[in-house]
Structure 1
Amino acid sequence: MAQHNGEPVRAGREDQFQRVRELLKNAAAGHGASLLVDGEPGSGKSTLLGLVAEEATRLRCRVFAGAARETGPAPLGALLDCLEPDLPTEDIRRAAQGGGPPAGAVRRFFALIAQVCRTAPVVLVLDNLHQADDASQLVWRRLTEAAARRPLLLVAATRGAPGAPLP
């Protein structure tokens, strides 16, 4: 059984935690990736995300973590909540709430992440991705495509069948 700080990792998640450790080391070396953790409520997804954030901090990565909420999802709200209060997101939030397509907000979000990636490896952790607003899910998908070219590790938990498309 895998252990972290002397504590066992939740049953059924040992292999994932070991994989996350490899991905974190790769991200710290400049080679990002994306990991989607799925399962039913109570299956250990949130615990695993907490361990990811803890291990990433230990490896001196910049960690941004949050959880999507079902109520009142503002455009990019799930992702911006992860970055606040550590990063300036006011202009992105204003652009996202402008009523039109969030293209300007998306560009600003990507620019901010790219800027942070230039200073340190970044780990972005999002719980309940399945509840995230449409713009956050779109940006998450685009970030997964860009992660391999940056010191960026994306780890999200969602509810659903393996390989099922996000809502």
Structure 2
Amino acid sequence: MHTSTSSILRHVCSLLAVPLLHVGALAQSTPTWQNARAVGTNLTVSGAAAVDANGNTYEVGSFSGTATFDGLSLTSQGNIDGYIAKYTPTGTIAWVRQLGSTGRDLAFSVALDATGNTYVAGDFTNSIALSASVVLDGGSTTTSKAFVVRFSPQGTPE
């Protein structure tokens, strides 16, 4: 009986693969959680979250009506407002900032840099207040416009 080289290779590969099918799952360690908590109430859209090198968590999203973050309440200025919240490694709120106007304002992305600054991206329809002193003019149209804002580690828009 004549056996081809490809047939032999197929059988050898099959024999080598069989032990691999019987390898058990590798043990995984359980993560050490410091805490777990709900980040806010009355949130309309959950955007994104990021964690810095110190273990602080940053969350962005949008809400309507009144949203409460660890006892701090924000009331939307119009339809939907955006927010950025910073939580300490123990889960305590460090600060929360409202991004709002009388229109629809969404915060949907967050990024961090090595110096502790936070960058928030989103869109808005009217002029949007990023703080008491920083306002983006949306012009006379109500079409969506994009924004990116940088916050200092203390939560000040820059």
TM class by shorter chain equals: under 0.3
Greater relative contact order (Cα 8 A, min sep 6): structure 1 or 2?
A: 1
**Bigger fraction of residues in strand:** 2
TM-score (norm 2): 0.25
| Greater Rg over alpha carbons, structure | 2
TM-score (norm 1): 0.24
